[in-house]
A = this chain, B = another copy of it.
Amino acid sequence: MAQDTPPAKRGRKRAVGEDEVVAAAIRLLGTRGADAVSIRGIAAELGLAPNAVYTYFPDRAAVVRAVVEHLLGETDLAALTAHDTPWRDRIHTLAADLRHRLLAHPGAVNLLLSGRMDGPHALALGEALLAVLADAGLDPTQAARASYLLIVQVLGAIALEAAELPSPLPPPPIAERVATRREQLRGVPADRYPRTVEAADTIARFVSDEQYAWGLDRVLDGIAGRAKG
């Protein structure tokens, strides 16, 4: 275990570390929402002057990237490579895990979608996804395309759900969110939007576990159709 203590440098000691900065950011994300993840907010959380943060990260975008990386790093990739469970189930588990974790910090998904996801954890997730899709019988090219499709689907669904969460935390439970949607759908005029009104009950449940899993299953159906044999 290379204890990488870079051989005792000269100069003042750091009050905190990069990880504590990220931790403070995530703490703010969870308690006061994405808007509270500011340089000044993080600094206050750490008991530092705002500028001190720039010792650890060059700018706010870098902090956000690190936060995203950390969030992606919490993913349980082992569940993806569990060869004893069917590949579709493994993807379902990963997708549900991501959804729960990202919706617990509403606004987190917006951070993900605010820049490229090219850190090591993002790469590891992609790699694991490619392995699962190889298990599913896809050749490398098809597997790559399918992996991107899955990421789009999962992050897209989470982003749309997060979009209608209220800004003050914490987010209401799903039942309440569905009830709110149902209430708002009651105001839709049936003459102009007949099919919308007819399906209002299903539409109200768009933000549910079931819809999320249903959509993922359709995507998996489409992907399975490209597997050889």
Binding site for B on A (CB under 8 A): 110, 113-118, 123-124, 126-127, 130-131, 134, 140-141, 143-146, 148-149, 151-153, 155-157, 159-160, 162-164, 184, 188, 192-196, 198-199, 202-203, 206, 211, 214-215, 217-223, 225-226
Contacts and interface: CB of A to CB of B under 8 A. Distances in A.
Nearest to A145: B214
A72 to B, nearest CB: 14
Contact of A215 (B118, B143, B152): B152
| Most chain B CB atoms below 10 A, which of A148, A198, A217 | A148
Contacts of A123: 188, 192-193, 196
16 contacts: A110-B113, A110-B114, A123-B193, A126-B203, A130-B195, A130-B199, A140-B202, A144-B203, A145-B211, A145-B214, A149-B214, A152-B153, A156-B156, A156-B159, A156-B160, A217-B222
A144 B222 contact: no
Main secondary structure of the interface of A (DSSP, over half): helix
A14 B123 CA distance: 54
